[in-house]
A = this chain, B = another copy of it.
Amino acid sequence: MAEQLPEKYADLLDNKKAFANLGTLNRDGSPQVTPVWVDYDGKHVRVNSARGRQKDKNIARDPRVSLSIQDPENPYRYLEIRGKVVEATEKGADDHINSLAKKYLGKDVYPFRQPGEKRVIYKIEPHKFSAMG
C-alpha cells in the first residue's frame, strides 16, 4: 500500500541537499548500499542511475528497496523509507539528472556523465516510513 511522505520530514527530500543511502538486493539476496541523490514528485521517491550499473541490475531483478536519509544539519534526525520501484524508465531521465545536479551542485547540467551512458529514473512507491529525531 502506497503511503504519503510525512509532512514533518518533507524537507529531507525537498530543499535540503540530503543524500539517500539506497539499499538494493544483489543476485544472491545480500544487500547493497550506496549513496544517491534523491527527490520526491509528490507521489514517488525518485533516484537516478545508469543502465548496467549494479543498482540497475539489482532493481530489475528485485524491485524492493530501502532508503535512509539523514538531515545534513543533524545526522540524528533521519528517515527510512521502504518501498518498491514501480517504474524504471529512460524517459525524462536526462532532464531528471540535470534537475538533481541543480539541487545538489547548483549546476544546470549534470557534470559526471560518462560517454554512452543511458540514464534511468527509478520511481519508488513508498510503503513504510520510519523516522527518528
Q: Mark A48-89, 1 if CB is under 8 A from B, else 0.
A: 000000000000000011111010000100101010000000
- Name the distance in Å between A103's Cβ and chain B's nearest Cβ: 13
Q: Are B75 and A31 in contact (CB under 8 A)?
A: no
| Cα of A32 to Cα of B64 in the assembled complex, Å | 10
* Across-interface contacts of A32 in B (CB, < 8 A): 23, 66, 80, 82
How many copies of this chain are found per oligomer?
2
Q: Is A122 an interface residue (CB 8 A)?
A: no
| Cα of A82 to Cα of B78 in the assembled complex, Å | 23
Q: Are B33 and A33 in contact (CB under 8 A)?
A: yes
* Across-interface contacts of A78 in B (CB, < 8 A): 34-35
Q: Are A65 and B21 in contact (CB under 8 A)?
A: no
* Across-interface contacts of A75 in B (CB, < 8 A): 19, 35
Q: Are B35 and A67 in contact (CB under 8 A)?
A: no
Q: Is A29 an interface residue (CB 8 A)?
A: yes
| Cα of A25 to Cα of B29 in the assembled complex, Å | 9
| Cα of A72 to Cα of B16 in the assembled complex, Å | 16
